[in-house]
Amino acid sequence: MIVNPGRTGTVDKRDSLLYYIILIMKHNDDDDRFFRRKKMTIKNSNKSFLIAVCMMIVFSFVSWSVLNAAPGEEKYKGSNSQKKKSYYHNPESYRKNKPGKPVVAPPPPRPGDSGNHRYGRTVTVLPNGHTIVYVHGKKYYYHNGHYYWPGSSGYYVGLGPIGARITTLPPGYRQIFINNKPHYYYMGTYYYYDINLRSYVVIEPPNEAEVPELPEGYEEIYMGQAPYYHCQGVYYTYEPGRGVYKVVKAPQGLIVNTLPFGYDTIYVGGQKRHTYMGVHYMPVNKNGIIVYKIVH
């Protein structure tokens, strides 16, 4: 604490440096008379000079630190727990280089089971928040991009029935272009937007449409050495060069283990067949198990 005899109380720390500088500048001008006038006795002027020099050095260092602080650093008050952390020091650099949506399609998925969302699965309880969808007088249930078909033992998780309409696409949908027209894809179901109905309408999978992933629950089938991927009456081949799956016509002679939901049963020449989206399936016995062969 520095005492200023000319004033009451103490000298502010911010004034101390100036005060000592004035003393140093006038110490050659009759020091004894000057100090007596200020009612302050300094026995050793060299000591005062050293103190002033030290304070000037400290003041210079603090000033240099403030002027050379990083431009993106922020000054915070309070404890360390209250300090905020920014991902980028330079906001302008962040706006120019912030990460965007991925443009590269994910790698081909492997078969898995995500619970009630796996196609072909039967559930006994519908998810909360589901809605009812009518198609040609038949009742279906919809929830977050997944369709539930009524069955004898519960509800079958399947693709969207042709003609079903929704007002909002589910999160994670893909936009694809077919004949230069935008269409939409989500987990095996294809949509187009009907401007008159103001709805997204489920359509048959367009031939040669390309998508980045298949829905869970698809069936991988080999005919010769060529693999096909079957999901509820829709058939795909994998294009490794582009990393996509392409919709193809149902290959004649291919044998599948399950029929798609919503198939019809007909008889041709006395033989029982099942049909779905124009494809005929003939039941055959394979090692004591009934499977279905694609015929035309």
pLDDT in tens, 242-281: 899 999 999 999 999 989 888 899 998 889 999 999 999 9
Indicate the range of 57-71, 89-103, 182-196, 268-282 predicted with least confidence: 89-103
Quote the pLDDT of residue 55. 79
- Only one residue has tokens 């000057």, namely 34
Distances (CA, A) of 48 to 22, 30, 122, 168, 286: 11, 16, 92, 81, 108
What average pLDDT does this structure show over 125-138?
93
Q: Bridge-partner residues for 255, per DSSP?
A: 293
Q: What share of the chain is helix, strand, coil (3-state, %, to 5)?
A: 20, 35, 45
What average pLDDT does this structure show over 62-80?
48
- Taking the C-alpha atoms of residue 176 and residue 206, their distance in angstroms, rounded to an integer, is 11
pLDDT category, 119, cuts 50, 70, 90? Answer: confident
- Taking the C-alpha atoms of residue 239 and residue 281, their distance in angstroms, rounded to an integer, is 26
Structure tokens at 34: 């000057």
Backbone phi and psi for residue 246, each to the nearest 5 degrees, phi listed first: -115, 135
pLDDT above 90: residue 193: yes
Structure tokens at 88: 């980028």
Q: What is the DSSP string of 149-218?
A: EEETTEEEEEPPPTT-EESSPPTT-EEEEETTEEEEEETTEEEEEETTTTEEEEEPPPTT-EES---TT-
158: amino acid identity, one letter: G
197's CB contacts (< 8 A; 6+ apart) are: 165
Q: Bridge-partner residues for 248, per DSSP?
A: 235
Quote the pLDDT of residue 58. 72
Backbone phi and psi for residue 69, each to the nearest 5 degrees, phi listed first: -65, 150
Q: What is the per-residue pLDDT across 209-244, written as a single tens digit (0 to 9) for each? A: 999 999 888 899 999 888 999 998 999 999 998 899
127's CB contacts (< 8 A; 6+ apart) are: 116, 143, 144
pLDDT category, 23, cuts 50, 70, 90? Answer: low
What average pLDDT does this structure show over 106-120?
51
13-25 and 45-67 helices, crossing angle to 10°: 130
Q: Are 296 and 258 in contact (CB under 8 A)?
A: no
Quote the pLDDT of residue 24. 57
Provide, rounded to the nearest whole percent, the portion of the chain with pLDDT above 90.
48
Question: How many residues in the chain?
Answer: 296
- Taking the C-alpha atoms of residue 257 and residue 164, their distance in angstroms, rounded to an integer, is 26
91's CB contacts (< 8 A; 6+ apart) are: 72
What average pLDDT does this structure show over 57-79?
54
- Average pLDDT, whole number, for the chain? 76
Which element (helix H / strand E) includes 273? strand 271-276
Which element (helix H / strand E) includes 97? helix 91-97
Could you give the count of Cα atoms lying within 13 Å of 107 in the half-sphere of its Cβ? Answer: 2
Can you list the alpha helix ranges (DSSP code H) found in 8-74? 13-25, 31-37, 45-67
- Taking the C-alpha atoms of residue 119 and residue 263, their distance in angstroms, rounded to an integer, is 16
Q: Bridge-partner residues for 228, per DSSP?
A: 221
Which element (helix H / strand E) includes 92? helix 91-97
